[in-house]
Structure 1
Amino acid sequence: MDQATVIDLARKALYTALLIGGPIMLLSMLVGLIISIFQATTQIQEQSLTFIPKIAIVAIVLLIFGPWMMTVMKNFTEDLLLNIQRYIR
């Protein structure tokens, strides 16, 4: 396995991880920002106030994007296993 193959495989793995984790992280961050703005305007400084909405949005995102995420992971794994002979050399 040469250096270009390792770099290409690492690039594909990072890209796949960003595709899978991106929607969850982005929407969770957006909900956290909205709640932080709400807390700042109302001066409610309850630390546990952000947990339930974030958990709920993560569950909703997983329900909506779950099949797509599984397809992306399946395609990456299939590509990895089909080309394993090329990677081992």
Structure 2
Amino acid sequence: MTPQDVVDIGTQAFIVAAKLAAPVLVTALVVGFAISVFQSITQIQETSVAFVPKAIAVSIALIVCGQWMIAEIVSFTTELFAKIPHLLGG
């Protein structure tokens, strides 16, 4: 296993992590921004007004994207296991 192999695996891991986190983070960002605009317009500063819609939206994003997320991580893990003989020099 060369240092380049380690860097390649690390880079792939970071890319997969970013792809898996993106749907949830973007959903929370968009809903949070919309709630912030709503709160500033109506001057309602209640904490639950910001938390509950974000929690619901993130849950929906996980339900919608969950199968794809599982397929991505399984694919990455399968590819990583398939590379083990090459990485060990066999």
TM-score category (smaller protein): over 0.9
Separation of aligned partners in 2, 1:36 and 1:27: 14
Q: Tell me the C-alpha RMSD between the 2 structures.
A: 1.1
Matched, 1:6 2:39: no
Separation of aligned partners in 2, 1:51 and 1:40: 15
> Once the 2 structures are TM-superposed, how far is the Cα of residue 48 of structure 1 from its aligned partner?
2.1
SS at match of 2:78: helix
Point out where structure 1 has 5 or more consecutive residues left out of the alignment.
none
Aligned to 2:48: 48
Count of matched residue positions in the alignment of Structure 1 and Structure 2: 89
TM-score w.r.t. the length of structure 1 is 0.93
Aligned to 1:26: 26
Instruction: Extract structure 1 runs of 4+ deviating beyond 2 A.
Output: 85-89
Aligned to 2:57: 57
> Once the 2 structures are TM-superposed, how far is the Cα of residue 85 of structure 1 from its aligned partner?
2.4
Aligned to 2:17: 17
Point out where structure 2 has 5 or more consecutive residues left out of the alignment.
none
Percent of paired sites with the same residue: 35
> Once the 2 structures are TM-superposed, how far is the Cα of residue 77 of structure 1 from its aligned partner?
0.5
Separation of aligned partners in 1, 2:35 and 2:88: 49
TM-score w.r.t. the length of structure 2 is 0.92
Letter in 2 for 1:16: V
